[in-house]
Amino acid sequence: MTSAKSTALGVRLQPGGASAAVVASRAEAVDVCLLDPAPGGAGWVERRVPLQRRPGGLWTGQLPGVRAGQRYGLRVDGPWEPAAGLRHDPAKLLLDPYALAVEGELRWGPELFAHEVDGPQWLPREPSPAAQRRSGLDSAGCAPVGVVVEAPQADAAARPRTPWSRTVVYEAHLRGLTRLHPEVPPELRGTWAGLAHPAVVEHLTRLGATAVELLPVQAVGSEVSLARRGQANYWGYSTLSWFAPEPRYATAAARAAGPAAVLAEVRDAVAALHAAGLEVLLDVVYNHSCEGHAHDGPSLSLRGLDATGYYRLDGEGRDVDSTGCGNSLDFGRPQCVRLAMDSLRHWVTAFGVDGFRFDLAPTLGRGLDGGYRPDAPLLLAMGADPVLSDTKLIAEPWDLGHDGWRTGDFPQPFAEWNDRFRDGAREFWLAVPRRASQGEPTGSGLGELALRLTGSADLFGGGPGDRGPMASVSFVTAHDGFTLADACAFDHKHNHANGEDNRDGTDANRSWNHGMEGWPGGGGTAAGPLLGAVGADGPAAVDPDELMVAALRRRSMRNLLATLVLSAGVPMLTAGDEVGRSQGGNNNPYCLDDETSWVDWRLAPWQQDLLETTRQLLALRAAHPVLHAEQPPRPARAEPVAGAPQLTWWDADGALMDPEDWHDPQNRTVQVHLGAAQTGGEDLLLVLAGDLDDGDVVLPPQPGAAGYRLLWDSAVERYPAGALGALDAVGAVVAVSALSVRVYRSCPPAQEDAEDAPAAGQATAPSEPTTARR
């Protein structure tokens, strides 16, 4: 007996032709439509091969003579009962959800909709879903089709398999990263081959990144709402096919050579990054599809195939949407779980992908009752699978459904995006100072920052069996929200270009414009006097207020970067933040495939400084085990744990922090000593000065420390390579700049004598950053 569980789904090559297998549980007929070019090259000639129904809603058949390169689609007939969620229409040429390659683009028109529509906006003729009638319009030529190909095979042994403790994630859009890169040849920009270009690889490795996390690269279909506005989905969070790469991201040469060449370009690009020691993580969207709401969206694949088997529907056939995108896949159903598992394994084995970030991941853990469970079938299956358990699995731990915020609630081996880290860091360095500068009540934010700095034990635990700080993928910015530069230059979002009257995107930005909203001229560039460029008539031609604001903004960027990189957990940088990229205050440019979203690699001097600062911070993290320990930091007076930093908190006067100090709204400065006795390497002291005015700290009497040597100070624009500060004694009163971070190396007595003076030729960092205080 043939079953869906034992049969390879999709159209797969075999000796003499291909096999076909499709799950369509409520269908009455399923045909594979083999598509050959019509005479003259206009349209297709269809050859229909009926499939046979098997138990479990499986339809199978043989396709003799089919070869690689064959274009095909599916036609499915069955009941039309919208109130029951059944929307079969044999006039629709559907994409096989298991197609390994796709070809063609969406050509928007009434043909794509299974229900009748009217007007140029393709609005439903009947607003009530239950009253909608089947359109009967043929969608052939208007929708992408599948292509029969042999899956490539990646070299599993070449994967870097970087430990979590050494991982630094770099989130990027495949197209936007290289679209403007001057060293990438024009024909490679915005493609897989462009990502693998030596200039891009060198930037990533010199920066200190170990993994590239790409926004969605699976085949995309824009939402109908965007199509009605004449726009397209740039970010890609609107999946059409979970197996096929998005063809637009391949070079023109690969697309011209055919789908097999597109797949080969993906595999070869991943291999090139592996050769440089870089992992490749994919942002994947299994929570919903591009088909939108059943009553309003097109019928492209799952909806016409088996809507009740793939989507979560209510008792009246309407979508139950926990994603905010019109529909939600139902992972309480085995065929949905299998679709995701088969797809994920394919990307690992065919292309060599090293891991995945799961968009709106609580939806993947929602069962038939709609509630989230950490022991949901798909989540447990991924952790137990022999292929996927050897990859990095990262959850975006929130969706828009009931009880949708689930940070800290995913099972092993998942790591999670830590939004509480983002909020705590930006609250301390941006939101609280903004309110204080405006005379508003502020609070301190110090306790929350300390909790995030040390691994978010409230979310990821610290005891036996808990996941610990490596489960926290910490970030201060991501693709959605302000860039680092914009978070320091805008109090409010400026999203008008998105076409939604500035309604889209969050209003909870925790940002600070430092007294002036935006950049000079209101454009999307962070260049100009507000970030340190000098006017044509020299420095005197620049407004002194703008220079002051520019310096403050740059320091805030460095503070946020330092907080991210020096914290326990796995840091994630957003592409372009290392060079101060701006989006002109747009915090949601999901539909803007233009200079708003692309990284501009033409760097002003201040951007070069920021890039070097980011490199220095990541090198500092890599060099000090106490900063990337897998075990959570422990209080110094607690029982030592192998691999765990020992943690001591001191106030600005060099006294141990008392519990009430954490709740004092005026207390905005703290010193934290990270002891390396259980991690190896050197002890470090971090000084976090969050006051609006310059001040002093007393270097603490940490047991075993005879003095401290300054390694890095955010008040300094750019440190000379290898510079060391003067050796300061325990108890020394040290001036610190307002809103700044300092990193000291704790020196035991033996080192104090040996390091009292710099070696010949060694640079010395400025201990009094007077130029940064202007």
Selected catalytic residue, list 171, 265, 321, 396: 396
Confidence category of residue 774, pLDDT binned at 50, 70, 90: very low
For the whole model, what pTM was predicted? 0.95
Percent of the chain, pLDDT > 70?
Answer: 92
pLDDT for position 102: 98
Task: With beta carbons less than 8 A apart as the criterion, state whether 676 and 644 touch.
Answer: no
Query: Residue 773: is its pLDDT beyond 80?
Result: no
Looking up tokens 């609005």 gives: 123
pLDDT for position 759: 36
Give the containing element (helix H, strand E) for 451.
helix 446-453
81 is catalytic: no
Nearest CA-CA partner of 114 in 147, 81, 144, 72? 81
Please, what is the angle between helix 334-351 and helix 302-310, to 10°? 120
Selected catalytic residue, list 296, 359, 399, 593: 359
Q: What is the DSSP letter of 143?
A: S
Could you report the per-residue pLDDT of 347-370, keeping only the tens digit for each? 999 999 999 999 999 999 998 888
Give the containing element (helix H, strand E) for 702.
none
Name, of 91-95, 121-125, 769-773, the range with top average pLDDT. Answer: 91-95
Nearest CA-CA partner of 22 in 111, 113, 97, 117? 97
pLDDT for position 769: 36
Which backbone phi and psi does 37 adopt, to 5 degrees? -60, 135
Q: What is the DSSP letter of 122?
A: T
Task: With beta carbons less than 8 A apart as the criterion, state whether 378 and 337 touch.
Answer: yes
Q: What is the DSSP letter of 514?
A: T
Asked whether the bond before 37 is cis by omega within 30 degrees of 0, the reply is no
609 is catalytic: no
pLDDT for position 751: 62
Which residues is 75 bridged to in the sheet?
A: 31
Q: How many CB atoms lie within 10 A of CB 567?
A: 25
Measured between alpha carbons, how far is 170 from 214 in angstroms, rounded to an integer? 8
pLDDT for position 7: 85
Task: With beta carbons less than 8 A apart as the criterion, state whether 479 and 215 touch.
Answer: yes
User: Which structure tokens are listed for 324?
Assistant: 């905010």
> How much is the mean pLDDT over the chain?
92
Measured between alpha carbons, how far is 49 from 513 in angstroms, rounded to an integer? 63
Could you report the per-residue pLDDT of 303-349, keeping only the tens digit for each? 999 999 999 999 999 999 999 999 999 999 999 999 999 999 999 99
Measured between alpha carbons, how far is 374 from 411 in angstroms, rounded to an integer? 6
Measured between alpha carbons, how far is 700 from 685 in angstroms, rounded to an integer? 9
Whole-angstrom CA distances from 82 to 67, 115, 319 are 38, 9, 11
pLDDT for position 24: 98
